[in-house]
Structure 1
Amino acid sequence: MVYQTRSERHQKRVTFDKKFDKKTVLSLVGTGLVVAPTTAALFPQESYAEEYQVAESEASYLINQISGSAQQIADSNDLYASVMIAQALLESGNGSSSLSSSPTYNLFGVKAYGQEPSIWLSTQEYIDGEFETMNEPFRVYGSYEESLQDHAAVLTSSSYSSGAPNYQGAWKSQTSGYTDATAFLTGRYATDPDYGQKLNSLIEAYNLTQFDTPAQPSDYTYTETSYETTDSVESQESVSEEATTSASSGNTTYTVQQGDTLWDIAQNQGVSLDELMANNGLSDELVTIGQQLTI
């Protein structure tokens, strides 16, 4: 059974858009199995094992893309970055849904209201015990960062009628750990009784608590098995060595290093993420080692 997720302003349910296939459905409704060490034993067919390997690869890719922004946004909003990233993985099918990809960047299936930028998609929604197919408007964001910012706004919002916070029980200051936050969200943010357990499984499998501390000068690079860190002093020296100034144009260029994210580069160079993307004609936050960026 697929359960709907909801908030006071953002009523939304699991969306099956044109890009959803068997792999995505498996990763959505079987998240606990995706991250379990014995997954292959549960699905002996070779094709199923391959599907799950792809799902884990997609999860790793999405974590690399959003972890820097999620850490900054969560820290400034009294939230757990680990929970935020796990929710993004769960609700976007490990980032494989077309809604969560460029150019919409909608990680959480948020529907559009009023004059917000939107895209209409065919979706199946579970209503009164059965699925109904309908076209619904979904919010369009300019980047993953905007989607994460909007999600943080939902978790820190207050009730229009009572003025009481909707999800205060998921805030860092009101909990002793991320498991308290995931337990609070279960039955409130999401009706799925296993919602918290699925988030906890993702957090544990991908060591997402690494991002629950305030951002440090060191660079963090996620891989499927470990996190690689570089000393903050060495990182700063590398930035200084790789940043050069063009005398003719006055523009500063930066060479992308291993472990860099577009968010980190923007912060280190003193520019906004949107400005950095615009200067280099980027439509998403993906960068490659050795790429030259104009600051």
Structure 2
Amino acid sequence: MNQFKTRTEKYNYIRTQQKEKRIKAAKRTVPLLGTAMILSPGVLAMNTVKANAAETSQTQNQSAFIEQLGASAMQVSSSNDLYASIMVAQALVETGFGSSQLSSAPYYNLFGVKEYNGGPSVTMSTQEYLDGQWVTMNEPFAVYSSYSESFQAHANLLTGSYYAGARKSHTNSYQDAAVYLTGRYATDPSYASKLISLIQSYNLTRFDTPGAGTAVQSTEQSQQAETTQSTQQAVQTASSSQASGQSYTVQSGDSIWGIAEKFGISVDQLLADNGWSSDSTIMPGDTIVI
């Protein structure tokens, strides 16, 4: 045991011991920090790889879903004077690229068809716009055994006299059919541009089969249509952004009600700001005014 003649001597000794302990502790910390710095780039790289893998997987799933829809739509459309490309595009809009539970097995309901006549059904909650507000309700939705059966039920609807203008024999192109369905099948004023954009982006015309009244567009006409559409969309987006100062890009799984809640605004305000009606639809990638 150390002997100290004065309190000052004892105090200085304690201070020296404490200082030495701090130095030793610092030396032990440096290698650990160095290791952390060496590992950090690896961790970041691993996270990047995981993110890229997730994105690739999502793209592959979407592609597989589109191919599956296309095969079923071709079988149904060829015997019903309809465009398979239009039917597939409608299914993508309705299901959010297959993200809805109703569109998945074992329900296979691609178009949100309800069942009130005693057929196979499943009860699910849904958002209905009633009396100026969104209300959550439990409704019976039709259950199908396959996508082909769901497409056939949809074809039965489209071949009625009310939708006659969407058939191949009454149109020159799928664009004509998309325009005709706007205001009839869906009141969303941008419904036609959404369908046409999907058809062009994913080359859905490869599912169309030759039929009466089908005209083959030239490459020049097709490019001109795409350019016109892109210009119109750019103008609409710019106008919306200038009017509100804020825009939002719709993500997979979004709903009009959910977006309104996310930004703390009423559904009525969101509908009015975007010129929508209660029947309007949104899809991933849309730019909307908040």
State TM-score, norm by structure 2: 0.52
Structure 2: distance between partners of 1:148 and 1:90: 14
Q: Which residues of 2 match residues 31-50 of structure 1 at below 5 A?
A: none
Deviations 1:70-101 (A, max 9, x none): 11211110000000000011101101111000
Match of 2:178 among 172, 178, 182: 182
Structure 2: distance between partners of 1:51 and 1:85: 25
Q: Which residue does 2:88 correspond to in 1?
A: 85
Structure 2: distance between partners of 1:73 and 1:120: 27
Counterpart residue identity of residue 119, structure 2: E
Deviations 1:95-153 (A, max 9, x none): 11110000000011100121110000011122343211000000000111100110000
Match of 1:64 among 48, 55, 67: 67
Go from structure 1 to structure 2 and tell me whether the alpha carbon gap of 1:95 and 1:142 turns closer, same or farther (over 3 Å shift).
Answer: same
Structure 1: distance between partners of 2:54 and 2:133: 27
Bigger relative contact order, structure 1 or 2 (CA pairs below 8 A, ≥6 apart): 1
Q: Which residue does 1:204 correspond to in 2?
A: 200
Q: What secondary structure is seen at the aligned counterpart in 2 of 1:147?
A: helix
Shift in Å, 1:49? 10
User: Which entry has the higher C-alpha Rg, 1 or 2?
Assistant: 2
Higher helix residue share: 2
Q: Is the 8 A contact 1:82 1:208 kept in 2?
A: yes
Q: Which residue does 1:148 correspond to in 2?
A: 151
Shift in Å, 1:65? 1.2
Structure 1: distance between partners of 2:138 and 2:76: 31
Figure out how many residues of one structure are paired with residues of the other and give that number: 163
Structure 1: distance between partners of 2:78 and 2:87: 11
| Deviates further, 76-85 or 50-59 | 50-59
Q: What secondary structure is seen at the aligned counterpart in 1 of 2:78?
A: helix
Structure 1: distance between partners of 2:165 and 2:154: 16
Structure 1: distance between partners of 2:52 and 2:73: 30
1:195 aligns with 2:177: no
Which runs of structure 1 show a deviation greater than 2 angstroms over 4 or more consecutive aligned residues? 48-59, 126-129
Structure 2: distance between partners of 1:81 and 1:136: 29
Counterpart residue identity of residue 113, structure 2: V
Shift in Å, 1:173? 0.4
Q: What secondary structure is seen at the aligned counterpart in 2 of 1:61?
A: helix
Go from structure 1 to structure 2 and tell me whether the alpha carbon gap of 1:195 and 1:55 turns closer, same or farther (over 3 Å shift).
Answer: farther
Q: Is the 8 A contact 1:58 1:94 kept in 2?
A: no
Q: Is the 8 A contact 1:124 1:131 kept in 2?
A: yes
Q: Which residue does 1:258 correspond to in 2?
A: none
Which runs of 5 or more residues in structure 2 are unaligned? 1-50, 212-290
Which runs of 5 or more residues in structure 1 are unaligned? 1-47, 158-164, 216-295
Q: Which residues of 2 match residues 89-108 of structure 1 at below 5 A?
A: 89-108=92-111
Q: What secondary structure is seen at the aligned counterpart in 2 of 1:71?
A: helix
Structure 2: distance between partners of 1:170 and 1:181: 4
Q: Is the 8 A contact 1:122 1:134 kept in 2?
A: yes
Shift in Å, 1:67? 1.1
Q: Which residues of 2 match residues 163-182 of structure 1 at below 5 A?
A: 165-182=161-178
Shift in Å, 1:57? 4.0
Go from structure 1 to structure 2 and tell me whether the alpha carbon gap of 1:203 and 1:49 turns closer, same or farther (over 3 Å shift).
Answer: farther
Structure 1: distance between partners of 2:183 and 2:56: 30
